[in-house]
């Protein structure tokens, strides 16, 4: 028969899962607002990238120390949460360490969890020091002011509290195994919490039970809260890194895609048998490039939601390094903020509602876009293959093809190509004279 605590646990568990489902559904609904015309081939290479880049985090090992610390946190947190299976069963049925019948295997698991929890604590404390004492420069760009910086610190503090609760719970449990063996049988191995238990040894059984139960509830409720925190923080990449890496661009860097709408127009112009006025007119013609977030494709929106805000892209960007306004990380954050805004309005006021704003100009300025050298340094630097350059190119396409708003230097190049067949202001007859100077 269920006890009151079992019903409370069931309610908290059910509410957390429901909230997580609702938040994730909203995110994927926003991603689905992007264009759908994408195809993906070479599944073998894509799964290889998932294994080595998403799971193995191979791109982070350009900085080995940081990569190892991040891997410890990632693997440790995932492996330790295997214990959720036992916690959920214990919470629902009022049992205690229900999986202890495994015997030696159980002891090995608990010992592994403790060692990993200690390593996670160590790594997270170092990350806090890097952010707040050493103050690594890429964590303090203008776009990181306010919530992004608080978000980064909150999640680290959260992990410290969760790991501390886990180890303290085990320390109290270890003492209770001797003081109250009827309710706390001697099971498990505790290589880390055994160093904490001397601090609690003089407490009464009642106080030890309170500490053990408090830490147990704090640990499970904290994990469920963390699950829902993912949906409103940059740490959504814990889940989205895998599909984002799978669907990432396999083409050589620097190879741009052609727009179908432009290709079709050019083909009609080059075919004398085609009567352009006889072609069916589309009442909603496709926009050249992207003005707003809904003009981007769904993969670019997935990129935005997958962004870890680590800033490696911006720190490698030559334009940003030389003091220009461009920050690839800000571009991804702006896209995410804008599609969130659009999704909110569509949900509240209907699909046809327009707020009079757009990604271009209201979030991303032309100055940022034209500072980009298209070098792909940001794409190469990203640990999970996010592609800020593709978004920059689509926004620039709109400026050029829809608003004729290219910089004067580019307009000169365009005019020369149109008139002379070359980017230089030379007559066609003089195009090959350069070789006469040899």
Q: Position of tokens 């490696």?
A: 312
27 Cβ contact partners less than 8 Å away, ≥ 6 residues apart: 231, 236, 305
Q: What is the pLDDT of residues 67-106, one digit of tens each?
A: 999 999 988 878 887 888 999 999 999 899 999 999 899 9
Q: What is the pLDDT of residues 175-219, one digit of tens each?
A: 999 998 888 989 999 999 999 999 999 999 999 999 999 999 999
Beta-bridge mates of residue 360: 364
Could you give the 3-state DSSP secondary structure of residue 406?
coil
Report the pLDDT value the prediction gives residue 159, as an integer from 0 to 100. 92
1 has pLDDT over 70: no
Check: CB of residue 45 under 8 Å from CB of residue 248: no
Q: What is the dihedral of CA 326, 385, 82, 171, to 10 degrees?
A: -40
Q: What is the pLDDT of residues 217-265, one digit of tens each?
A: 999 999 999 989 988 888 899 999 999 999 999 999 888 888 877 787 7
pTM, 2 dp:
0.90
Percent of the chain whose pLDDT exceeds 70 = 97
Report the pLDDT value the prediction gives residue 437, as an integer from 0 to 100. 65
Q: What is the pLDDT of residues 107-130, one digit of tens each?
A: 999 999 999 999 999 999 999 999
Q: What is the pLDDT of residues 42-55, one digit of tens each?
A: 999 999 999 999 99
């Amino acid at each position: 028969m269920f006890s009151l605590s079992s019903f409370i646990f069931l309610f908290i568990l059910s509410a957390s899962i429901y909230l997580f489902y609702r938040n994730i559904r909203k995110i994927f609904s926003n991603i689905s607002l992007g264009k759908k015309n994408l195809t993906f081939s070479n599944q073998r290479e894509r799964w290889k990238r998932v294994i080595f880049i998403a799971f193995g985090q191979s791109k982070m090992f350009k900085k080995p120390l940081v990569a190892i610390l991040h891997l410890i946190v990632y693997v440790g947190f995932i492996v330790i949460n295997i214990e959720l299976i036992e916690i959920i069963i214990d919470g629902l049925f009022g049992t205690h360490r229900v999986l202890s019948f495994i015997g030696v295997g159980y002891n090995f698991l608990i010992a592994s969890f403790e060692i990993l929890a200690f390593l996670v604590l160590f790594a997270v404390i170092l990350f806090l020091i890097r952010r707040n004492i050493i103050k690594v420069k890429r964590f303090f760009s203008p776009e990181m002011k306010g919530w992004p910086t608080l978000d980064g610190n909150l999640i680290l503090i959260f992990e410290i509290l969760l790991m501390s609760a886990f180890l303290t719970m085990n320390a109290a449990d270890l003492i209770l195994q001797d003081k109250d063996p009827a309710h706390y049988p001697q099971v498990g191995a505790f290589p880390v919490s055994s160093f904490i238990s001397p601090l609690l040894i003089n407490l009464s059984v009642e106080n030890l039970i309170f500490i053990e139960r408090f830490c147990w509830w704090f640990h499970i409720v904290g994990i469920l809260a963390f699950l829902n925190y993912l949906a409103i923080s940059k740490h959504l990449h814990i889940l989205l890194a895998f599909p984002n890496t799978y669907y990432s661009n396999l083409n050589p860097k620097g190879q741009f895609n052609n727009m179908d709408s432009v290709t079709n127009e050019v083909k009609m112009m080059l075919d004398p048998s085609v009567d352009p006025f006889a072609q069916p007119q589309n009442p909603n013609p496709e926009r050249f490039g992207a003005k707003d977030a809904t003009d981007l494709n769904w993969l670019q929106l997935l990129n935005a939601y997958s962004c870890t805000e680590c800033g490696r892209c911006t720190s490698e960007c030559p334009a940003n390094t030389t003091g220009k306004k461009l920050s690839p990380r800000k571009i991804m954050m702006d896209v995410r903020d804008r599609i969130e805004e659009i999704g909110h309005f569509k949900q509240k006021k209907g699909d046809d509602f327009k707020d009079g704003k757009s990604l271009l100009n209201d979030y991303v300025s032309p100055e940022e876009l034209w500072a980009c050298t298209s070098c792909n340094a940001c794409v190469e630097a990203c640990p999970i293959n996010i592609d800020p350059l593709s978004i920059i190119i689509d926004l620039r396409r709109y400026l050029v093809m829809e608003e004729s708003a290219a910089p004067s230097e580019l307009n000169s190049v365009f005019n020369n190509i149109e008139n002379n067949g070359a980017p230089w202001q030379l007559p066609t007859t003089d195009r090959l004279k350069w070789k006469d100077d040899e």
